[in-house]
Chains A and B, each alone.
Chain A
Amino acid sequence: MKGIGLDIGTMNIVSARKTDSGIVTKRMRDTFLDLPLDAKKMLKLSKVDYVEREDDVLILGDKALETANIFGKEARRPLVSGLISPNEIDSLEVLGLLLRHVLGDSVEPGEHCYFSVPAAPIDQPDRDVVYHQGIFERIIAECGYTPHASNEAMGIIYSETAKEGFSGVGFSFGSGMSNIALAVNTIEGLSFSVAKSGDWIDKGAAKSLGSTQARICAIKEKGIDISNPQGREQEAIAFYYKSLINYVLDQVANRFKLIQHQFALPNPIPIIVSGGTSLANGFLPLFEEVFEAKRKRFPIEISEIRQAADPMNAVAYGLLIQAMQEE
Chain B
Amino acid sequence: MVGVPKKPLGKSVVNTTIVKHDHGVIKQELEGLKRELLIELAKILGEVRAAQLLGVPLQSTDTANDSMPMYIPSDINTGKDMEAEITVQEKQSSSGDVDEAAEALRKLKEKGKK
Q: Is the CB of B62 within 8 A of A120?
A: yes
Asked whether B52 is an interface residue with its Cβ less than 8 Å from the other chain, the reply is no
Give the contact-size bracket for chain B: 35 or more
Q: Is the CB of A26 within 8 A of B82?
A: no
Task: Tell me whether A22 and B92 are in contact in the complex, defined as CB-CB below 8 angstroms, given that A130-B68, A324-B102 are known contacts.
Answer: yes
Partner of B65, one of A89, A128, A165, A313: A128
Asked whether B43 is an interface residue with its Cβ less than 8 Å from the other chain, the reply is no
Cβ < 8 Å to B, chain A residues 111-156: 119-120, 122, 125, 128-131, 134-135, 138-139, 142
Task: Tell me whether A24 and B91 are in contact in the complex, defined as CB-CB below 8 angstroms, given that A49-B85, A321-B101 are known contacts.
Answer: yes
For the complex formed, measure the closest distance between the CB of B78 and the CB atoms of chain A, giving whole angstroms: 3
Q: Which residues of A contact B95 (CB under 8 A)?
A: 18, 22-23
Asked whether A305 is an interface residue with its Cβ less than 8 Å from the other chain, the reply is no
Q: Which residues of B contact A102 (CB under 8 A)?
A: 88
Task: Tell me whether A125 and B64 are in contact in the complex, defined as CB-CB below 8 angstroms, given that A23-B98, A60-B86, A93-B77 are known contacts.
Answer: yes
Q: Which residues of B contact A193 (CB under 8 A)?
A: 62
For the complex formed, measure the closest distance between the CB of B26 and the CB atoms of chain A, giving whole angstroms: 12
Q: Is the CB of B88 within 8 A of A120?
A: no
* Interface positions of A (Cβ within 8 A of B): 16, 18-19, 21-28, 49-51, 60-63, 89, 92-98, 100-102, 119-120, 122, 125, 128-131, 134-135, 138-139, 142, 158-159, 162, 165-166, 185-188, 191-193, 258-259, 309-310, 313, 317, 320-322, 324-325
